[in-house]
Amino acid sequence: MSFLYILSWVSLLIHIVFVLISIAAGLYYMAEIVEEYTQAASKLIRMMISATVFVYIMFIFFDNLPWKMILCGFAAQIFHAIIMSNFPFIRLLSFPFVGAVVFLVINHILAFQFFTSFYYPFMQVLAYFTICLWMVPISLFVSLNANDNVLPTTINDSAGQDVVTNYFNRGKKQGLLSLFSYAKDSLLPTQKKKPY
């Protein structure tokens, strides 16, 4: 075993770390943009759902994909559209969200079965997975924290507090942005500010 072989594994690990940091930074930036521009994010995600439905319609006419894949893709987009009816409020245990996750898993299983049975170039397989399976779920994942800074309009609590007091007394925020903020605070070293 040569030293260059060992060095190649070290280089691969460094590349993986840099790619993961870049992805995390990109997701953090996208989460902040979604939090700031909720209405624009809603329109963009709705357009992505429509584009994905259009792609599945094109598959019916131009490709020989199995009907199971196409029908499951349509069903997943229906669940995504139902989730968008209450955007930016996404409940993780609601029927549409659970249904979207179930169809995401089923679509992946069907796609893996199909693309391992029939040869397609890698770029076409990657295009199917990116546009049909990953684009909308990742955008919904990034937008999970969009409702953190939206002021509430009603109180579900009967403690007699007003709306604003209840909102600020809710406790810690949950979501992708708060997860990244926690990771940044706990993993990265902090600099002490020098008083001038």
Assign 2 a pLDDT band (cuts: 50, 70, 90): confident
Assign 143 a pLDDT band (cuts: 50, 70, 90): confident
First and final CA of the chain: distance in angstroms?
Answer: 56
Alpha carbons 139 and 130: distance in angstroms, whole number: 12
Q: What is the pLDDT of residue 77?
A: 93
Return the closest-CA partner of residue 143 out of 38, 71, 60. Answer: 38
Q: What is the pLDDT of residue 193?
A: 66
Percent of the chain with pLDDT over 90: 31
Q: What is the pLDDT of residue 85?
A: 85
Q: Is the pLDDT of residue 50 over 70?
A: yes
CB atoms within 10 A of CB 80: 25
- State whether residue 194 is helix, strand or coil: coil
Q: What is the pLDDT of residue 93?
A: 82
Q: What is the pLDDT of residue 1?
A: 65
Alpha carbons 195 and 78: distance in angstroms, whole number: 56
- Which position has the token pair 């995504």? 80
What is the 3 state secondary structure string of 106-128? HHHHHHHHHHHHCCCCHHHHHHH
pTM of the model: 0.67
Please give the residue that has the higher pLDDT: either 147 or 121: 121
- pLDDT tens for 104-120 read 999 999 999 999 999 98
Q: Is the pLDDT of residue 6 over 90?
A: no
Contact indicator for 42, 86 with CB cutoff of 8 Å: no
